[in-house]
Structure 1
Amino acid sequence: MVSSNWATTALVALLSVSSAGVHAAPQKYRPDPDQIKEKRQILQTINTDRAPGTRVPVTFLTIGTVGTIGPTFTRVPTVNTNTLLTFGTLPGTRIPTLNTGIYTPPTSAVYTPPTTPVYTPPTTPPGYGYTPPGTTTTSSSRSSTTTTSSTRTSTTPTYTPITGANTTCYNRLKIDVLQRTDPDQFNMLLLAWQKVQTSPDSDPFSHYQLSGIHGAPYIPWQMGPGSYDYSRGYCTHGSALFTTWHRPYLLALEQALFHAAMSIANQFTPAAVRTQYLNAAGRVRLPYWDWSDPVTQSYLPPITMQQTVTVTRPDGSGNPVSASISNPLFAYNFLGTSSVAPFPAPWNAAPRLSTRRYPDGSWNDRSYLASNSMQSGFSSRVTATYNAFLATTYNLFSNRVEGVHDSVHGAVGGGGQMGYVAYSAFDPIFWLHHCNVDRLMAMFQATQPGLFVTPAAAVGTFARPVPPNTIDDSSTDLFPFRRADGSWYKSVHLNPVSTIWGMRYGYPEVPCSYQTRTPAELDTFTTNQVNTLYGNGRTIPGTSREWNVRLLIDQAEIPGGYDIYVYGGTRPQDPYADPYGKGYIGSLSSMSMGAVDQYKQSRIRFVDVPLNSYLKDYGYAGADPYKITEYIRRDLTYTIIANGKPCYFQDLYTARYAVYSRDVYSDGKEDTLPYYTSDPYYHTNVTEGYPGGIKYVDEILYPIKVDGSREVPWAEVNSTRIQT
């Protein structure tokens, strides 16, 4: 905890840094000394029925949007990317972005099996010797003889360190690449995940308990009695620690999968077959789902939508046999009603004994709707992913990635578990999704080795309730994960990027084969991969202008979950029924904590939705800024849906949107990233006059919270460089 004086001084410093060089268009912005007071008066006039700090009585009315719809345009229907088509460019016609290039993983991703399958089983008995939470061990010394006794205490719980696999370093692979190029490893992954999913709920490394770390059922995980916040899980959403906390979390599941795979492989006979599958089990690592890949775009991996899958497993005598099993990547099936009994309604009802995506009224899975929703946001998602690598601070990178991450949860959930913080980790696709977030983190660490977590306002978790003015930094404990020496993981333990190789994994873009290379060589290699995968022509020499809509809200204003959607060119006839339909560009998603009446901790959240693809589709790429601002002022519309019902900007106190542009320079080289050559230039003429649209720059730079105070969510430093 820090003193309020320190916090005030830091806030003033942040305000002075982030406001430098920021302008509003078209006229140069001149601060009004009474501006903040004036704007607060305007906001209070809009909300005359309540005082600042009062929860907003959101009124759910008939669907409506803010803004005027411009000329009518025709959008070409979504095209199956397996069919190659040629489109002629017609003014006013929106054309799907098709990229027919094929990404070939670097040669370092190719696995070379060891000459002998060496595996040392854990020293603890089968089941890893785990004991139910609360059982603890202590050590005592008597004279010169040391003995260890097992007792129940309140201080030292039994725990298993999170160390990952205990073989050599292997790359985590893209899920479809793994399935295609290493079928033996994929087979062992499926068998292992099935074993983890069917392990007893009391096993700390079962799918049930590992998923429960993220949220419900809100119980300590390998920790003794303490002062816990039973309204939330251990996860650090909305925090500077968002990316770092999830790294040991993913490693915990990978560790469970690895040991389960080795245990199953040891059952095969004869010896030659056992050797084959022990080799494969030694390579088992979590795969990732790259929702920004230009080849597969944002569609759900097909394997995650299959209800059953065929595997090769040992029979009662150890002989390999082919069998059809429930696909552990499609859904997680709770072991019984007792598993969901601790959950609040409706999650404790029998129909919810399996995870679902876009469930219908009978709780049937409709993953195809999730896949379609994901693909509709591909163009802005790939740009947002690329822009994350242009961040000038680690915290800003983490925030940008989290914003994309949130929209994935929203698009995949559709009323299923992925849309709820408390239950999302039970859906197996959660782990593929977050593995990609970890991959992006590793790639950023490789390309920006000098940037890492800096102090920011803390976010409370299950094991760390935080009072006001508490700070998160790289030394904050990442509960509940312990290292090999028994100490808590901290973000500092996860930097530099080479630390992942010590955890026995890499990625094709940060490969294990680079362990003997210099950081500069890794930087060059990874940067080339970033440009190849997500650059989409951004490496053409010269300066270009990047256009964005910034969506912003205090996440505590609306209870439950909600989304703010941006549409352009056209829009769904009924955005309530089809929010990811025609004209969808991007969104700010705020997942429900688990109940529609639960408020989140007060904190400003924002997302930048890229507009360049949208402008290109409608013939405004490189157009005069005045023409662009006139077009998007008339054309862009916004819809807010909270807990499945519509609401309006005029009903909200903190929700804002702003349009800004920024110059980006690229030298045209594949091994260097573009960089900003100007600060954000806010075009208030686009938004003023509309509910939720900003009139003054301070509304977006120093946004208002529900209590009437102001916050600088993530200070952006001036990134202008002078090229020599």
Structure 2
Amino acid sequence: MDFQPITGINTKAPDGRTPVRKDIDIWFQEQVQGNSIQLTLFVEALAAIQSHPLENQLSYFRLAGIHSAPWTSWDNVKAPDGPDVVPKDKIPGYCVHNDFTFPTWHRVYMLLFEQTLYDEMLVFIRKNIPEALQDTWTQEAGQWRLPYWDFARFGDYIPDFPQATEGILRLPIMAMLPDVNILVVNSDRQDMELAPRQNPLYKYKAQTEMGKLDDPYKIKGENGHDKGSGLDYTYPWDKCVSTTKYGIRQGDPETAWTNAEQNWRFSNQALNEHEWNKEVIYKPLPTLQEMTYRLLTYDYDCWGAFATTQYMERHGQKPINWLSLEFIHNNIHNWVGGSQFTPPQKETDLWGAGHMSSVAMAAFDPIFFIYHCNIDRLTAIWQTLHKDKWFDDPDSQAVQANDLAPFHKDSADKFYTSDHVQYWRKLGYDYDIVQGDKPDEDRADPDIRTKIRSLYGVRTHEVYDNLPDWQRKDYIITVLYDRYALNGEAYAINIFLGHMVDDQFHGQNSVNFVARVYTFSSSLDQGSEGSCGNCKTQQRKGVLSMAQVPATLAMRRFEYDDTEDVPMYFVAVDRCNNRVDVAVTLEIWQAEEPFFLLPGRGGGEGDEYQHIKGGEKAPDSVGHSGPA
């Protein structure tokens, strides 16, 4: 039996270096102002795989289904064995969330998607482009690589596109455009001209309602249970033809779910949680940007601390180790898609659910792939700055040789492992922030750190540099939680500094709100539907998760108080935005200097951050209409 070999794109730039994956906003602007060839190829290739029959394992639907639903085999690969509770007639899934191979598994996944689009580009050129132009178009295809969405970079103004708001965190412009202008063959079939085309990155549209697809590709609704009210509900993914952002709302007619809205303005608003420092003298500093800057500035103990939310006592001793790539990733899934299906009691501006917030359905939204391309980019940056920390701790080494199923290196039955993907240039792509002047050469570390600061640290430095010395202490909050506390159903932990107000516990507009931790998990009780075997195994073993959020600017409100007297609370809320009782350990830590000035940038002997106090569950009056 032959398997699908994943090799990447084996072309080089004219100077011999590996072509780079570009920031999609910058790339889009280059294409609109340039010849638009790569833009045309990208749109045509993505549209083509979205229209392929489901029996084709390189169709968009089947590629998206690798991530989770509809729990079918891909490339004739049985998923890793799960516990006995996984139905024996179902694939228990290839999930690697809350795991040390989270970055490496998704690296191969993006490589497969990139390769599939490139191959489709060549087919399009051969079938549709006038022969006299085919060489030029083939060369352009060879220089293309999957673009990434730099979610922590403030957006640029792009002329003629009012959606391109400047100076805030936002979705890429292409993800907000229902149509784009691309090149089409003119009437005499000798040349090309621009014409509007439906944008396949805006949403994915299936052949029919996904619940009406033939087995084994039929999508089921995702069951949920509101513990507080006793309400059972179902996310109606089965009623959807198209993917959506914040477009699924309980109470709307089913016809509204079929082709629900792309409420990208809600996504943009959520991405800017929490816009700290709104005083006139400063520009806002979103938590997401500061966390990304910290992620690339901290000197972590090991690979495991950087890579995953999975708690291990060994690297949980230092508070900086609690901020991981995967935690940042989890929150963004929620911010982009929206997870609240039922009507909220307050803060209705972000009401609505979308595919990106669901583990089962996230990969069906096309933004998933350019989003995860940036997750891979952040991994490559961190690797370049920490070359000696590749699976260097005992916990991650225990899974280092695991097969990254269902991905094959060749047509024989040989899987990728994490070591196969350590060096991304060997996979046929690079990123400009880490690429040196010569082939296979890294950019110098100081240059990379300067670029990191210019992308993510300017506003952080503006804020901290203007504080008097006695206000420049750094505060972080660590969070220990059980991802499976609600039997896997996703929930959020809202964190507050200061006294709680009874009806203020929902999110960023609530009094004294600091930040939110989203579990990005899904119910492990889906009836006859498949579930994640890895997740069920972790649940059985009692595996916990951890996160870290910045709290320096939140603490400025209490600059004249003794920090030990400042109350710290959490409220856990389910996807109905109702309070749920789960066990959470909250701790606040203090360093004497801003994190970017600390010796070893917080990764020295472990004594830069001193424990201040623990937090506690909010009083029962907060968010409870009756007994808990």
- TM-score normalised according to structure 2 size: 0.72
| Contact 1:265/1:281 (<8 A) preserved | no
Residues in 2 aligned to 1:303 and 1:689: alpha-carbon distance in whole angstroms: 42
Structure 1 counterpart of 2:199: 327
- 1:297 deviates by 4.0
1:627 to 562, 585, 592: 562
Find the residue that maps to 1:195 and give its secondary structure: helix
1:304 paired with 2:175, answer yes
- 1:192 deviates by 1.2
Structure 2 counterpart of 1:291: 151
| Contact 1:588/1:607 (<8 A) preserved | yes
Which one-letter code corresponds to 2:144 in the other structure?
V
- 1:225 deviates by 5.4
1:587 to 505, 512, 516: 516
Radius of gyration: which is bigger?
Answer: 1
Distance 1:663 1:514, change over 3 A: farther
Structure 1 counterpart of 2:374: 436
Structure 2 counterpart of 1:420: 358
Structure 2 counterpart of 1:382: 289
Structure 2 counterpart of 1:646: 578
**Mapping of residues 103-502 of structure 1, within 5 Å:** 137=1, 158-168=2-12, 169-182=18-31, 183-224=36-77, 228-229=81-82, 230=90, 232-295=92-155, 297-314=168-185, 317=189, 319-336=191-208, 337-338=212-213, 342-345=218-221, 351-359=239-247, 360=249, 361=252, 362-363=256-257, 364-365=260-261, 366-377=263-274, 379-389=286-296, 390=298, 391-399=300-308, 400-414=324-338, 415-454=353-392, 472-484=398-410, 486=412, 487-495=414-422, 499-502=423-426
Residues in 2 aligned to 1:675 and 1:604: alpha-carbon distance in whole angstroms: 23
Structure 2 counterpart of 1:149: none
Find the residue that maps to 1:479 and give its secondary structure: coil
- 1:273 deviates by 3.3
Residues in 1 aligned to 2:213 and 2:617: alpha-carbon distance in whole angstroms: 54
Q: Residue by residue, what CA displacement relative to the aligned partner does 1:572-605 show, whole Å, maximum 9, x if unpaired? A: 99668x6343565321111242677688532211
- 1:178 deviates by 0.6
Residues in 2 aligned to 1:188 and 1:409: alpha-carbon distance in whole angstroms: 27
Residues in 2 aligned to 1:403 and 1:254: alpha-carbon distance in whole angstroms: 25
- 1:234 deviates by 1.1
| Contact 1:561/1:643 (<8 A) preserved | yes
Residues in 2 aligned to 1:667 and 1:647: alpha-carbon distance in whole angstroms: 36
Residues in 1 aligned to 2:386 and 2:503: alpha-carbon distance in whole angstroms: 43
Find the residue that maps to 1:477 and give its secondary structure: coil
Q: Residue by residue, what CA displacement relative to the aligned partner does 1:393-446 show, whole Å, maximum 9, x if unpaired? A: 111111311101000011112121111111100101111211111000000000
Pick which of 392-401 and 250-259 moved more: 392-401
Which one-letter code corresponds to 1:608 in the other structure?
Q
2:455 to 522, 528, 533: 533
Q: Residue by residue, what CA displacement relative to the aligned partner does 1:522-579 show, whole Å, maximum 9, x if unpaired? A: 3333222223222345599999643112222111211311111224589999668x63
Which one-letter code corresponds to 1:508 in the other structure?
D
| Contact 2:108/2:421 (<8 A) preserved | no
Pick which of 165-174 and 349-358 moved more: 349-358
Distance 1:425 1:268, change over 3 A: same
Distance 1:386 1:505, change over 3 A: same
Residues in 2 aligned to 1:242 and 1:379: alpha-carbon distance in whole angstroms: 25
Which one-letter code corresponds to 1:440 in the other structure?
L
| Contact 1:267/1:274 (<8 A) preserved | no
- 1:356 deviates by 0.5
- 1:240 deviates by 0.8
Residues in 2 aligned to 1:376 and 1:224: alpha-carbon distance in whole angstroms: 40
- 1:500 deviates by 1.3
Which one-letter code corresponds to 2:268 in the other structure?
S
Distance 1:573 1:197, change over 3 A: farther
Find the residue that maps to 1:285 and give its secondary structure: coil
1:549 paired with 2:471, answer no
What do you get for the CA RMSD once the two structures are aligned? Answer: 3.4
Residues in 1 aligned to 2:499 and 2:139: alpha-carbon distance in whole angstroms: 53
Residues in 2 aligned to 1:351 and 1:191: alpha-carbon distance in whole angstroms: 27
Residues in 2 aligned to 1:343 and 1:447: alpha-carbon distance in whole angstroms: 42
Distance 1:595 1:352, change over 3 A: farther
Distance 1:286 1:567, change over 3 A: farther
Distance 1:689 1:287, change over 3 A: closer
Distance 1:454 1:434, change over 3 A: same
- 1:303 deviates by 1.9
Q: Residue by residue, what CA displacement relative to the aligned partner does 1:260-319 show, whole Å, maximum 9, x if unpaired? A: 112222345444533332232222211111111145542112321222222213479575
Q: Residue by residue, what CA displacement relative to the aligned partner does 1:153-173 show, whole Å, maximum 9, x if unpaired? A: xxxxx2121111121221111
* Alignment size in residue pairs: 504
Residues in 1 aligned to 2:369 and 2:49: alpha-carbon distance in whole angstroms: 13
- TM-score normalised according to structure 1 size: 0.63
- 1:343 deviates by 2.1
Q: Residue by residue, what CA displacement relative to the aligned partner does 1:353-392 show, whole Å, maximum 9, x if unpaired? A: 1100101432322221111111224622122112223122
Which one-letter code corresponds to 1:298 in the other structure?
L
Which one-letter code corresponds to 1:333 in the other structure?
K
Distance 1:170 1:574, change over 3 A: farther
- 1:493 deviates by 1.7
| Contact 1:268/1:274 (<8 A) preserved | no
Distance 1:219 1:528, change over 3 A: same
2:612 to 666, 683, 686: 683
Find the residue that maps to 1:606 and give its secondary structure: strand
Q: Residue by residue, what CA displacement relative to the aligned partner does 1:625-653 show, whole Å, maximum 9, x if unpaired? A: x63443x42xx5533211324124xx33x
Pick which of 234-243 and 216-225 moved more: 216-225
1:662 paired with 2:591, answer yes
| Contact 1:564/1:640 (<8 A) preserved | yes
Pick which of 672-681 and 368-377 moved more: 672-681
Distance 1:690 1:251, change over 3 A: same
| Contact 1:292/1:385 (<8 A) preserved | yes
Distance 1:643 1:590, change over 3 A: same
Q: Residue by residue, what CA displacement relative to the aligned partner does 1:47-66 show, whole Å, maximum 9, x if unpaired? A: xxxxxxxxxxxxxxxxxxxx
Residues in 1 aligned to 2:185 and 2:519: alpha-carbon distance in whole angstroms: 44
| Contact 2:494/2:572 (<8 A) preserved | yes
Q: Residue by residue, what CA displacement relative to the aligned partner does 1:312-349 show, whole Å, maximum 9, x if unpaired? A: 13479575243333211111111233168622225676
* Consecutive unaligned residues in structure 2, runs of 5 or more: 13-17, 83-89, 156-166, 222-233, 275-284, 309-323, 339-352, 621-628
Residues in 2 aligned to 1:568 and 1:444: alpha-carbon distance in whole angstroms: 31
Q: Residue by residue, what CA displacement relative to the aligned partner does 1:103-131 show, whole Å, maximum 9, x if unpaired? A: xxxxxxxxxxxxxxxxxxxxxxxxxxxxx
Which one-letter code corresponds to 2:172 in the other structure?
P
| Contact 1:666/1:675 (<8 A) preserved | no
